[in-house]
Structure 1
């Protein structure tokens, strides 16, 4: 679900690497709004934060989020049905899906109903603007120096958007901590508190998390982790969803096989919501998602710095202090690892095929101890969104209106995550759901 956090070099995993700040510089304090979170921490600080945050991504917690994924997807699909009914069938995916993942994450992280898919939200607008400004800053070498950047119009816009995000997160964390403290004082007077009545969200869980010494994260640390959850989670997941739908639009036989799998599942349970238990009953759809993650990885590369000399085969030594760039794109398109690597072939993720593949040949969420802490969250959301979309819509390649007619294929655009030049356009056709009863999104 988040920016990849691990290391893989030709199949060898090394524990002697630290996160190199070259790639992540623009997400450090003063450059972005995440703060000093797990994403950019090292050493014992990273280990402690990872231990404290891991319970927030336990499968028992993820179960509670699946209904939220359904709800946010239903809102997006309702918009699509209105567009199709009005004659607009050629739709740019990234705009719609990014708002949907933001909507979903705000509910999961803060229990916050932003309605950002249907109306303007100051917080969501600020996040989108910050993402755009980070990309813009990376492309302007002089803007990498703070003393220049903060004097530019872009720097001033960045600070304004940053203050909106920080204020929003700070207010939620402070109010939630006060509520938890109040409930602790009165919990002996009642058998069921408000916190127990509602499902705990991400902020609740990390507020309640304690280390071995009984210490939790500070308010500032919690704000940093919540900001990272939003910033790193919405764009990467949106990219993965869009490229999966794109690949299925270009391979209608695989798309139809996925659709039949979803329809059979929904007919068996006589409903329109994907449940947690259903996720394991979508094997072919999951194979297609994984193949899309291989072919169009949301994160293209990671960098690391060696903390000691490391011996490689062939009497080669990587000396301490060297910066290593690991190309996730290169690994996923390496013909020594993957047969016909540029072809979309979900069958390569059949269980029997996976057994013969290097464990580090497929690393969309990175690998090793610093792999993506939110990958199960991301995969659950991916399966829910893709399954419900195929249940309700038939996808075919669309056309960028400004580019004119063509094959519908696009050029990759590596930014903070992998996007598409001119957007990613698909044609939507409503699928008849009459045999499944009344759809949940109406």
Structure 2
């Protein structure tokens, strides 16, 4: 947005909802954060008008609660996801509700995210965590900073590649991001910038570059699938995501996923399975670096589990005992949900919240960061405070106040996979290292289809055995007041 017009005035109101025309100022470099600023100025429900296109955004808890009613609303594949369909087609994330492959893939893949399956992924998660730690050890010895978002992306890409598809991207053996990641990021950026194109302008060069990147994603995925198929008749039925897609039959009709849809699902999982998780861990590490009192509590929790062992071997069940670490992760996801928006559409003509008329098929976009800053979160929702996620606090709060993974039957299928991976890694890192905010980093949130802290680096020094000898974390420790952000 232009600095001379930070909050365009509403042109008029639509059913008491302000309509804010930003056509003259443009969508800016960070369109979601721009809408956040518009909501701060005009309220948690508004229509953003851009070159004649209207989008209804909401962050109001009552409206989001209404939108969660599956009998009246369903997932909408909005303009951004329509663009993602150009390279993910009918994958789980971008499929239309009535596309047969969505229900088929969902039913086939659900067992892969059950508790028993998560246990089988734990050793792979730990193996890749060791790669990250080895890399960070080298940087610590050399006194070099680590690029947190880049390394989190390497770690989560290798994890989903190995755990989901038995394919090793070897990201930590590279000085630069894997070409798949570079192509993926450019595809996601294309999907966002395409939303704000000025009508009539020439974008043929950008579209051609996108097509080359999309072709590269498809080529990598074809290699992943071919490597599995070529590895022998028993390899297809390996019990992971790819094995299920190649062999599992739908329980209702006995059909399997077609080859094209398997490619779309692999692309979807490689993107969604690592891009959002890496952002969540990066934000969590940012807040820990900025809040030493909270960091100390996370360290005490990890130390209570693993003592003075520099290289613990976390078990699957131990990760479930890292309750305060999980609170930290949830609080980071509250402030910056890495999948920051999701859309719903009306199944039939209805009144949203009893007051906003919607036509059948009309879409509404929920802006997670503003929902997560509503009054239900207290007087200072900008404060980083993991105590918001004690069991007692969660029980007292509406379940619709916290939506980092979407809602309903189309919510993220892999959320427990991501939370287990992230909780384990955060605990291992703070158990091993002292984190130093050497550059006094000021948060800059980068947007593609997801959010990440841009340019965030840390320096590290190893913790000693003496550092890890602490009094056990008291039962009330999770209620320790956090420092102001």
TM-score range, shorter chain: 0.7 to 0.9
Shift of 1:177: 4.6
Per-residue deviation, residues 216-270 of structure 1 (Å, max 9, x unmatched): 1111111111110001221101000000011111111111111111122123999
**Residue 116 (structure 2) aligns with:** 60
Aligned partners of 2:236 and 2:247 also within 8 Å: no
Match of 1:82 among 138, 148, 154: 138
Match of 2:452 among 414, 419, 442: 419
**Matched residues in 2 for 1:276 and 1:128: separation?**
32
Aligned partners of 1:56 and 1:206 also within 8 Å: no
Aligned partners of 1:66 and 1:384 also within 8 Å: no
**Matched residues in 1 for 2:376 and 2:363: separation?**
24
**Matched residues in 1 for 2:201 and 2:92: separation?**
27
Aligned partners of 1:300 and 1:417 also within 8 Å: yes
Is 1:385 the counterpart of 2:439 in the alignment?
no
Is 1:375 the counterpart of 2:415 in the alignment?
yes
Shift of 1:175: 5.3
**Residue 431 (structure 1) aligns with:** 463
**Matched residues in 1 for 2:114 and 2:348: separation?**
33
Match of 2:90 among 26, 36, 57: 36
Shift of 1:366: 1.5
Q: How does 1:119-130 map to 2 (within 5 A)?
A: 119=174, 124-130=178-184
**Residue 347 (structure 2) aligns with:** 307
Match of 2:128 among 63, 72, 78: 72
**Matched residues in 1 for 2:228 and 2:199: separation?**
37
- Gap regions ≥5 residues in structure 1: 1-6, 184-193, 400-406, 437-442
Shift of 1:136: 4.4
Check 1:64–1:121 CA distance in 2 against 1; reply closer, same or farther (3 A cut): farther
Of 109-118 and 292-301, the range deviating more from structure 2: 109-118
Per-residue deviation, residues 158-214 of structure 1 (Å, max 9, x unmatched): 33333333223224335535667x44xxxxxxxxxx678xx6332012222211111
Q: How does 1:97-176 map to 2 (within 5 A)?
A: 97-119=152-174, 124-136=178-190, 138-139=192-193, 149=203, 151-152=204-205, 154-174=206-226, 176=228
**Matched residues in 2 for 1:334 and 1:300: separation?**
15
Report the secondary structure of 1:303's partner residue. strand
Aligned partners of 1:98 and 1:238 also within 8 Å: yes
Q: Would you tell me which structure has more helix in proportion to its own residues? A: 1
Is 1:93 the counterpart of 2:145 in the alignment?
no
Ranked by relative contact order (alpha carbons within 8 Å, sequence separation 6 or more), the top structure is 1
Check 1:61–1:314 CA distance in 2 against 1; reply closer, same or farther (3 A cut): closer
Check 1:134–1:371 CA distance in 2 against 1; reply closer, same or farther (3 A cut): closer
**Residue 332 (structure 2) aligns with:** 292
**Residue 105 (structure 2) aligns with:** 49
**Matched residues in 1 for 2:176 and 2:253: separation?**
40
**Matched residues in 1 for 2:324 and 2:196: separation?**
48
**Residue 326 (structure 1) aligns with:** 366
**Matched residues in 1 for 2:218 and 2:288: separation?**
38
Report the secondary structure of 2:307's partner residue. helix
Report the secondary structure of 1:10's partner residue. helix
Shift of 1:126: 2.8
Is 1:24 the counterpart of 2:81 in the alignment?
yes
Shift of 1:342: 0.5
Q: Aligned Cα RMSD in Å?
A: 2.9
**Matched residues in 2 for 1:164 and 1:312: separation?**
42
Q: TM-score, normalised by structure 2?
A: 0.76
Q: TM-score, normalised by structure 1?
A: 0.83
Shift of 1:371: 0.9
Per-residue deviation, residues 291-310 of structure 1 (Å, max 9, x unmatched): 11101110221223222123
Aligned partners of 1:331 and 1:337 also within 8 Å: no
Check 1:97–1:331 CA distance in 2 against 1; reply closer, same or farther (3 A cut): same
Q: How does 1:149-298 map to 2 (within 5 A)?
A: 149=203, 151-152=204-205, 154-174=206-226, 176-177=228-229, 182-183=233-234, 200-211=239-250, 212-267=252-307, 272-298=312-338
Of 134-143 and 207-216, the range deviating more from structure 2: 134-143
- Gap regions ≥5 residues in structure 2: 1-58, 469-485
Report the secondary structure of 1:311's partner residue. strand
Shift of 1:70: 1.4
Of 303-312 and 314-323, the range deviating more from structure 2: 314-323
Q: How does 1:404-415 map to 2 (within 5 A)?
A: 407-415=440-448
Shift of 1:331: 0.5
Check 1:157–1:146 CA distance in 2 against 1; reply closer, same or farther (3 A cut): farther
Check 1:201–1:10 CA distance in 2 against 1; reply closer, same or farther (3 A cut): closer
**Matched residues in 1 for 2:199 and 2:91: separation?**
22
**Matched residues in 2 for 1:95 and 1:268: separation?**
29
